[in-house]
Amino acid sequence: MSFDIVVIGTSTGGLKALQIVLSSLPPDFPLPAVIVQHRGKISDDGLCEFLAEFCNMPISEPEDKEPILPGHAYLAPRDYHLLIQNGSFALSIDAPEAFARPSINALFETAADAFAERAIAVILTGANRDGVRGVSAIKARGGLTIVEDPATAACGELPAAVIERMNPDWIVPLHEIAPLLVKLIAVHNAGAPSPRSTTESAVQYGS
Protein backbone atom coordinates (compact mmCIF):
# COMPACT_ATOMS: atom_id res chain seq x y z
CA MET A 1 0.00 0.00 0.00
CA SER A 2 1.60 3.24 -1.06
CA PHE A 3 0.94 6.86 -0.28
CA ASP A 4 -0.35 9.17 -2.96
CA ILE A 5 -0.83 12.52 -1.28
CA VAL A 6 0.35 14.63 1.62
CA VAL A 7 -2.02 17.20 3.08
CA ILE A 8 -0.71 19.82 5.49
CA GLY A 9 -2.73 22.09 7.73
CA THR A 10 -1.55 25.02 9.78
CA SER A 11 -2.75 28.34 11.10
CA THR A 12 -1.00 30.68 13.55
CA GLY A 13 2.79 30.41 13.18
CA GLY A 14 2.42 28.45 9.96
CA LEU A 15 4.55 30.71 7.82
CA LYS A 16 7.75 29.86 9.67
CA ALA A 17 6.80 26.23 10.08
CA LEU A 18 6.05 25.84 6.38
CA GLN A 19 9.38 27.45 5.49
CA ILE A 20 11.13 24.78 7.51
CA VAL A 21 9.12 21.84 6.23
CA LEU A 22 9.06 22.88 2.57
CA SER A 23 12.77 23.72 2.44
CA SER A 24 13.55 20.23 3.72
CA LEU A 25 11.46 18.35 1.17
CA PRO A 26 13.66 17.35 -1.76
CA PRO A 27 13.08 18.70 -5.28
CA ASP A 28 12.16 15.19 -6.40
CA PHE A 29 9.57 14.64 -3.67
CA PRO A 30 7.34 12.07 -5.33
CA LEU A 31 3.91 13.12 -4.04
CA PRO A 32 1.68 16.16 -4.26
CA ALA A 33 1.80 18.27 -1.08
CA VAL A 34 -1.38 20.24 -0.52
CA ILE A 35 -1.33 22.98 2.08
CA VAL A 36 -3.96 24.93 3.94
CA GLN A 37 -2.50 27.89 5.76
CA HIS A 38 -5.14 30.05 7.39
CA ARG A 39 -4.98 33.39 5.67
CA GLY A 40 -6.72 36.73 5.49
CA LYS A 41 -9.34 37.49 2.87
CA ILE A 42 -7.37 40.18 1.15
CA SER A 43 -4.06 41.01 2.68
CA ASP A 44 -1.71 38.18 1.80
CA ASP A 45 -1.59 37.89 -1.96
CA GLY A 46 2.16 37.35 -1.88
CA LEU A 47 2.05 34.26 0.33
CA CYS A 48 2.62 31.80 -2.48
CA GLU A 49 5.54 33.76 -3.92
CA PHE A 50 7.00 33.95 -0.45
CA LEU A 51 6.76 30.20 0.13
CA ALA A 52 8.21 29.55 -3.34
CA GLU A 53 11.50 30.99 -2.08
CA PHE A 54 11.75 28.12 0.37
CA CYS A 55 10.07 25.31 -1.52
CA ASN A 56 12.16 22.98 -3.65
CA MET A 57 9.12 21.82 -5.59
CA PRO A 58 7.03 24.07 -7.78
CA ILE A 59 4.29 25.62 -5.65
CA SER A 60 1.12 27.30 -6.83
CA GLU A 61 -2.43 28.13 -5.83
CA PRO A 62 -4.63 25.77 -7.80
CA GLU A 63 -7.55 26.86 -9.91
CA ASP A 64 -10.87 25.07 -9.80
CA LYS A 65 -10.70 21.53 -11.28
CA GLU A 66 -6.94 21.70 -11.75
CA PRO A 67 -5.37 18.21 -11.68
CA ILE A 68 -3.32 17.24 -8.63
CA LEU A 69 0.20 16.47 -9.79
CA PRO A 70 2.91 14.54 -7.94
CA GLY A 71 6.07 16.43 -7.09
CA HIS A 72 4.11 19.66 -6.83
CA ALA A 73 3.10 21.72 -3.82
CA TYR A 74 -0.23 23.51 -3.72
CA LEU A 75 -1.38 26.30 -1.45
CA ALA A 76 -5.08 26.82 -0.81
CA PRO A 77 -6.07 30.21 -2.28
CA ARG A 78 -7.42 32.89 0.03
CA ASP A 79 -11.14 33.06 0.65
CA TYR A 80 -11.95 29.70 -0.90
CA HIS A 81 -12.16 26.20 0.58
CA LEU A 82 -9.85 23.83 -1.25
CA LEU A 83 -11.41 20.41 -1.72
CA ILE A 84 -10.09 17.25 -3.27
CA GLN A 85 -11.97 14.87 -5.47
CA ASN A 86 -10.64 12.10 -7.68
CA GLY A 87 -7.42 13.46 -9.03
CA SER A 88 -8.29 17.13 -9.03
CA PHE A 89 -9.04 20.13 -6.91
CA ALA A 90 -12.46 21.68 -6.44
CA LEU A 91 -13.06 25.07 -4.90
CA SER A 92 -15.94 26.22 -2.78
CA ILE A 93 -17.08 29.49 -1.23
CA ASP A 94 -19.20 27.82 1.41
CA ALA A 95 -19.22 29.45 4.81
CA PRO A 96 -16.00 29.57 6.80
CA GLU A 97 -15.48 26.63 9.18
CA ALA A 98 -14.28 27.68 12.60
CA PHE A 99 -13.96 31.15 11.03
CA ALA A 100 -11.52 29.77 8.51
CA ARG A 101 -11.70 29.84 4.75
CA PRO A 102 -9.62 28.03 3.51
CA SER A 103 -10.32 25.45 6.16
CA ILE A 104 -8.09 22.57 7.12
CA ASN A 105 -11.08 20.32 7.83
CA ALA A 106 -12.46 20.82 4.32
CA LEU A 107 -9.17 19.79 2.72
CA PHE A 108 -8.49 16.88 5.05
CA GLU A 109 -12.00 15.45 5.01
CA THR A 110 -12.21 15.46 1.23
CA ALA A 111 -8.68 14.04 1.01
CA ALA A 112 -9.74 11.24 3.37
CA ASP A 113 -12.70 10.51 1.11
CA ALA A 114 -10.65 10.51 -2.06
CA PHE A 115 -7.45 8.86 -0.88
CA ALA A 116 -8.36 6.90 2.26
CA GLU A 117 -5.30 4.96 3.47
CA ARG A 118 -3.14 6.51 0.75
CA ALA A 119 -3.20 9.90 2.43
CA ILE A 120 -0.71 11.35 4.88
CA ALA A 121 -1.96 14.24 7.00
CA VAL A 122 0.35 16.67 8.73
CA ILE A 123 -0.74 19.17 11.36
CA LEU A 124 1.62 22.00 12.22
CA THR A 125 1.36 24.94 14.59
CA GLY A 126 -2.04 26.56 15.01
CA ALA A 127 -4.36 28.42 17.33
CA ASN A 128 -7.82 27.09 16.69
CA ARG A 129 -9.61 23.80 16.28
CA ASP A 130 -9.87 23.83 12.54
CA GLY A 131 -8.11 20.61 11.59
CA VAL A 132 -9.13 18.35 14.47
CA ARG A 133 -12.08 16.83 12.66
CA GLY A 134 -10.11 16.58 9.46
CA VAL A 135 -7.24 14.61 10.96
CA SER A 136 -9.73 12.29 12.62
CA ALA A 137 -11.28 11.64 9.21
CA ILE A 138 -7.89 10.77 7.74
CA LYS A 139 -7.24 8.36 10.57
CA ALA A 140 -10.70 6.79 10.32
CA ARG A 141 -10.03 6.00 6.68
CA GLY A 142 -6.67 4.43 7.47
CA GLY A 143 -4.38 7.27 6.43
CA LEU A 144 -1.21 8.23 8.27
CA THR A 145 -1.30 11.12 10.70
CA ILE A 146 1.66 13.26 11.78
CA VAL A 147 1.44 16.12 14.26
CA GLU A 148 4.07 18.67 15.16
CA ASP A 149 5.19 18.28 18.74
CA PRO A 150 3.41 21.06 20.63
CA ALA A 151 6.69 21.76 22.40
CA THR A 152 8.27 22.97 19.15
CA ALA A 153 5.18 24.67 17.84
CA ALA A 154 4.93 28.45 17.72
CA CYS A 155 1.37 27.86 18.83
CA GLY A 156 0.77 24.45 20.33
CA GLU A 157 -2.99 24.75 20.69
CA LEU A 158 -3.98 22.99 17.48
CA PRO A 159 -1.40 20.20 17.72
CA ALA A 160 -2.38 19.58 21.33
CA ALA A 161 -6.08 19.54 20.47
CA VAL A 162 -5.44 17.00 17.72
CA ILE A 163 -3.31 14.80 19.98
CA GLU A 164 -5.94 14.86 22.67
CA ARG A 165 -8.70 13.94 20.27
CA MET A 166 -7.29 11.26 18.07
CA ASN A 167 -3.91 9.80 18.95
CA PRO A 168 -1.87 10.46 15.81
CA ASP A 169 0.63 7.96 14.42
CA TRP A 170 3.55 10.33 14.88
CA ILE A 171 4.25 13.32 17.09
CA VAL A 172 7.54 14.84 16.03
CA PRO A 173 9.49 18.07 16.41
CA LEU A 174 9.10 20.46 13.49
CA HIS A 175 12.56 19.85 12.02
CA GLU A 176 11.98 16.11 11.83
CA ILE A 177 8.71 16.26 9.93
CA ALA A 178 10.12 16.55 6.42
CA PRO A 179 12.76 13.81 6.92
CA LEU A 180 10.04 11.58 8.38
CA LEU A 181 7.80 12.14 5.37
CA VAL A 182 10.62 11.32 2.98
CA LYS A 183 11.49 8.15 4.87
CA LEU A 184 7.93 6.88 5.23
CA ILE A 185 7.16 7.46 1.59
CA ALA A 186 10.39 5.84 0.44
CA VAL A 187 9.62 2.77 2.54
CA HIS A 188 5.94 2.37 1.70
CA ASN A 189 6.03 3.38 -1.90
CA ALA A 190 8.98 1.22 -2.83
CA GLY A 191 7.25 -1.83 -1.44
CA ALA A 192 10.39 -2.51 0.59
CA PRO A 193 10.09 -4.17 4.00
CA SER A 194 10.14 -1.61 6.79
CA PRO A 195 13.42 -1.16 8.74
CA ARG A 196 11.75 -2.52 11.85
CA SER A 197 10.87 -5.90 10.34
CA THR A 198 14.39 -6.24 8.96
CA THR A 199 15.74 -5.73 12.47
CA GLU A 200 13.28 -8.24 13.86
CA SER A 201 14.38 -10.89 11.41
CA ALA A 202 17.96 -10.10 12.33
CA VAL A 203 17.10 -10.67 15.98
CA GLN A 204 15.25 -13.87 15.15
CA TYR A 205 17.83 -15.45 12.95
CA GLY A 206 21.04 -13.59 13.56
CA SER A 207 21.56 -14.02 17.22
To the nearest whole angstrom, how small is the minimum distance from the Cβ of residue 92 to other proteins?
A: 4
Of the residues 11, 24, 103, 136, only one is catalytic, namely 11
Choice from 2, 26, 58, 64 touching other proteins (CB under 8 A) = 64
Choice from 38, 39, 72, 101 touching other proteins (CB under 8 A) = 101
Output the DSSP codes for 43-91. TTTTHHHHHHTT-SS-EE-PPTTPBP-TT-EEEPPTTSEEEEETTEEEE
To the nearest whole angstrom, how small is the minimum distance from the Cβ of residue 64 to other proteins?
A: 5
β-pairing verdict for 119-123 and 88-92: unpaired
Residue type (1 letter), 193: P
Q: Is 201 a catalytic site residue?
A: no
Indicate the residue among 91 and 177 with the shorter CB distance to other proteins. Answer: 91
Q: Is 11 a catalytic site residue?
A: yes
**Residue 157 interacts with other proteins (CB under 8 A): yes or no:** no
Q: How many CA atoms lie within 13 A of 3 on its CB side?
A: 25
**Residue 79 interacts with other proteins (CB under 8 A): yes or no:** yes
Binding site for other proteins (CB under 8 A): 41-42, 61-66, 77, 79-81, 83-85, 90-96, 101, 106, 109-110, 113-114, 116-117, 140-142
